[in-house]
Amino acid sequence: MAIFRAHEVKQLSDTELAEQEQKLQIELLQEYGKVSAGGATENPGRIREIKRTIARIKTERNARRSA
């Protein structure tokens, strides 16, 4: 799954934002599952980037809702 920057998130449609958020939530749960099972993730910074991307998407969705 790709990590989106703020300008990339603004270019996505509402349905694309919802889809990407769902995919990222699933990926985040998978990463947490690896860690909780005692394994090490391939990229430890990936969890942080996924969480930040989800936050960017939610911020954009809220901005569109209030505008």
pLDDT in tens, 4-61: 999 999 999 999 999 999 999 999 999 999 888 887 778 889 999 999 999 999 999 9
- What are the domain boundaries of the chain? 6-66
CB contact at 8 A, 47 and 53:
no
State the pLDDT at residue 46.
Answer: 92
Q: CATH fold of 6-66, please?
A: Helix Hairpins (1.10.287)
Tell me, what's the pLDDT at 38?
A: 85
Q: How far is CA 58 from the centre of its chain?
A: 9
Q: How confident is the model at residue 3 (pLDDT cuts 50, 70, 90)?
A: confident
